[in-house]
Copies of this chain bind each other. A is one copy, B any other.
Amino acid sequence: MPQSPITITAAEVIDLRVPTSDQMLGSDPFHKAPDYSSAVLHLETNTGLRGVSVVFTIGAGTDWMCHGIRDLCQLVIGTTLDEFTDSPFQLYRRLIDHHQLRWLHDGVFRMAAGAVLNAIWDLWAKSLNQPLWKLLVDLEPEFVADCIDWRNLGDALTREEAINLLQARRAKVSEREAAMAERGPKAYCTAGWLGLSDEEILITIRKLQAEGFDAFKLKVGQDSEADVQRIRFMRDAIGSDAQLMVDANQFWGLTEAKQHVEQYRPFNLKWVEEPIARDEVLGYVELAETFADASFDFACGEQAASPVIFKQLLKSGAIKYCQIDAVRVAGVNDVMAIILMAAKYDVPVCPHGGGIALCNMIQHYGMWDQIAVAGHSNTQLVEYIDFLQDAVERPVDVRDGCYVTPSAPGWGLEFRSEFIAQHSYPEGDVWKNRPADKKGVTFEAR
């Protein structure tokens, strides 16, 4: 008797918020007091399997994402997993090129589309009882190419180039897979959040060093003197051999960025992240030229809203570290395109982590890239955040400064039901008795 196909029967979208602003974790010059949050999507099926994804947010606005995701889910309820796996591009295109919703642009709309796609990719991997990276590694090069929207990318990377690139890595995939089963992607961590004192930063560094980390990031964007002082403090604390990166979270205009970054030359930094606005392609081109002789290069991507923005940054040579995010663009389909473009231009993929369970997702991209696309682990760093690990049943793990290769099926993103009950907004325990000025949309950073 043939099994009935896996069919999506319902969607649950949860507004999940954690009052991280109380500890000032995650703070930077723009996002002064984030409450790390997620729009969590559960796609239920007739089989008990559940597709899970998240869109990371930082408090207010999570409900905007939930609204959009709920709307899009109407389009997949009743469809089967087979329809998706026959051609993941078909659903991608129907969402992203939706003839009316497309008007909403990137941002909320593209992220909501990504949530739906990512949850179905999760379902697919779970139906195979495989972690997502393994599903991706095993896909035929032609199939990967067929998942991608080439409309706006062909001047940087053609479908044929992508297939050839993946094909060229095939001979060593088994070897790379075995190597990475021993030692996952190399990780780095932000020790210097903007809201933390030097003493707090030092404690964090020592803790991370004890876990094997030797690559650290520091937030900048205060006054120039204070920033330089903090960089010097960090460099002294970690020693001259450790890797040090700084992150301005888009706080400066181009002119100002040049002035600030000029002061950073003496500290042997690896990268300067988001010195300018997320969509300022020509500014990145100019920065790369201005600082061509510096020790550092430029990095960005966590808020790059589309593969087209990534294409320009990569093709022009403006960025030398490609910081994909797992939930900013439209899911696996978009991210595969970006990772392939990065490989063509020989730019290391250094995914953006943080938030709630984002690291659970990005580790799969690090695996896929380092096994099957770049095909090496020589230059990449995958971000790692050591808090909010209690949100999920299978927290990410690091050993000797590297991710422990994920083995849970799918993204490995199952939330603990108690965590959801406590943090659901606004009815969860941590929110329902919180004063009004510390929740919802208010003007002041809290």
Contact = CB atoms under 8 A, between A and B. Distances in A.
A403 B84 CA distance: 50
Given A106-B105, A253-B152, A64 B75 contact: no
Interface string A99-138: 1111111111111000000000000000000000000000
Nearest to A105: B107
A45 interface: no
Interface in A213-266: 252-256
Nearest to A34: B100
Contact of A75 (B106, B110, B277, B443): B443
Contacts of A443: 75, 94, 98
Contacts of A65: 104
A64 B152 contact: no
B67 A63 contact: yes
Contacts of A104: 57, 61, 64-65, 107-108
Interface string A29-65: 0111111000000000000000000000111110111
A192 B119 CA distance: 41
A271 to B, nearest CB: 21
Nearest to A102: B30
Q: Interface on chain A toward B: helix, strand, loop, or mixed SS? A: loop
Contacts of A72: 441
Q: Which of A154, A305, A308 has most chain B Cβ within 10 Å?
A: A308
A84 B392 CA distance: 44
A99 B34 contact: yes
A279 B308 contact: yes
Nearest to A446: B99
Given A63-B71, A64-B68, A282-B315, A105 B108 contact: yes
A113 to B, nearest CB: 12
Nearest to A94: B443
A297 B278 CA distance: 27
A202 interface: no
A4 interface: no
The 9 closest A-B pairs by CB, nearest first: A107-B107, A105-B107, A59-B100, A108-B108, A60-B100, A155-B254, A32-B99, A61-B101, A282-B312
